[in-house]
Structure 1
Amino acid sequence: MNDMAQLIEPLIPALRRYARALLRDRVAADDLVQDGLERAIGRWYQRRADGNARSWLFAIVHNLALNRTRQSSRRGPHLPLEAAEGVSCGTPTQEEGLKHRDLVRALQTLPEEQRSVVLLVSVEELSYAEVAEVLKVPIGTVMSRLSRGRERLRLAMEGATVAEAAGAPHLRRVK
């Protein structure tokens, strides 16, 4: 434990400078460094004993910064709570409530493998690679299940019948 502190502590100022250069936001950079240090300490046993602790720590901070950048690009701009004065979330309209109910019902009708992928990617915001690792399937399988699941949800939300949403062929009666 003492060895870890002696290796990490002198690197903190450099990590902070690097994080500030990456994020251009002092508070976010400090949060990033804290998260990086927390990850490094929690996974210290994974560090190669003959490896360079400095490059390992910088790699952790760099990867966390990339993840945050990707995450913020998906989520849109961040609005601090202080800047949100006067903004009201309000109660959802009746129509929004009905859409939410319909979406939950449509999700429940998806096959388990599609529902899992849709939820992990869309709700939990895992990357395709992370979902593949969680579900122990190839990335291509994740992408095809996600595509099919989203299409079924779209059809269900547009009011398609269960057979259409399931991809059943259109049959017509011949007299």
Structure 2
Amino acid sequence: MIDGAAKDVAQILGHIPALRRYARLLAGDAAAADDLVQDTLERACAKWSMWRPGTDLRAWLMTLMHNIFLNRVRDWRHDDGHAALEDAPEPAHEPMAHAPEMLDLHRALDRLTPALRSALLLVTVEEYTYAEAAEILQVPIGTIMSRLHRARETVRVLMEGPTDAQRTHPLHLVKR
């Protein structure tokens, strides 16, 4: 029995770098990301009996993390006592501060909704297929494709600015 537990722990430990990378991009700072990873690992241990051997452990862990993150976002939005944006502490010094395009990308990612950010990060950073991302986020594959398109377009506009057509025709025509 102990050998099986050691094997399970070893399996989880192998996924921590991917969990940290995804958490860092979701949460926006290292401390919040570390808390998210810790909570994910705690939840995985508590819910270990729910994982089905033979299925993708990494995807299961990412699903746990995504759900924990969304719960935090929902809790924060409903918390009337949260600090105003101007009261928030200044962001920590980033070693990449000399790379404006990286900062612009981080700012653009921060402006995405959690649903759009999650879809974009799972497909582009974690390299999941659309089907795998849909399973992790528990949505239809068409929803992933739609979210991915909207996320990419939003990031593009935030990074480059609107196109001439978008400036002259800010409203989209809808067929009747």
Q: TM-score range with shorter-chain normalisation?
A: 0.3 to 0.5
Higher relative contact order (CA 8 A, sep 6+): 2
Q: Look at both structures and tell me which one has the larger radius of gyration over its CA atoms.
A: 1
Using structure 1 for the length normalisation, give the TM-score. Answer: 0.43
